[in-house]
Structure formats: structure tokens, C-alpha cells
Amino acid sequence: MQYLPQTKLSGSINYQYDQAYTSNNANYPGKIDAKSLFDATLGYQVSEGSKFELSATNLFNNEFRALPGFPKIGRTITARIVAEF
């Protein structure tokens, strides 16, 4: 879902669900748990050619592993300035 009005603010929310499965990777065999993740982005149009964005991946810190034996992945928050020329 995105919110892109004619004003300077914008935002989006994304949802991802992956069901549990068994990894048959030779190096990382085993069960992968289901995951349910929400991502959110807020943006602010600073000027005509620049925008500031703040993004949160895995907003609610639902820790998961990409493969068995891998470290757990939690929330990631990033900020960026986008410049258009």
C-alpha cells in the first residue's frame, strides 16, 4: 500500500509472508520456520529535486533465519537522501 499525495509527505507499507519449508541445500539442510514481516517507508520532499526517506525493514523485529545455521535477522532501519538531476 502506498500513500503518494500531492503534498510533501509520502509513505508505504509492505507485508511479506513465507510459509515454513525444509531446505535441501547441501551446505545448510534443515527446517526453515514461517515468517511474517512488515516493512514501512516514510518520505519527505525537501525540495524540487531532493527527498528524504526513512525505511524500516522487518518493522516489528520478528527475527528469522534465511537458512539453517545462519544468524537471525531482525529489524533494519535506514535513512537516505535521494537527489534527482
Among the listed residues 60, 59, 50, 57, the one whose alpha carbon sits nearest the alpha carbon of residue 80:
50
Q: What's the pTM?
A: 0.78
Among the listed residues 44, 50, 57, 69, the one whose alpha carbon sits nearest the alpha carbon of residue 14:
57
Q: Using the predicted structure, report yes or no on whether residue 76 has a pLDDT greater than 80.
A: yes
What would the pLDDT profile of 2-43 be if each residue is shown by its tens digit?
777 778 899 999 999 999 999 988 888 999 999 999 999 999
Cell 518520505: give the residue: 43
Segments forming the whole domain that contains residue 19: 2-83
- Domain tally, the chain: 1
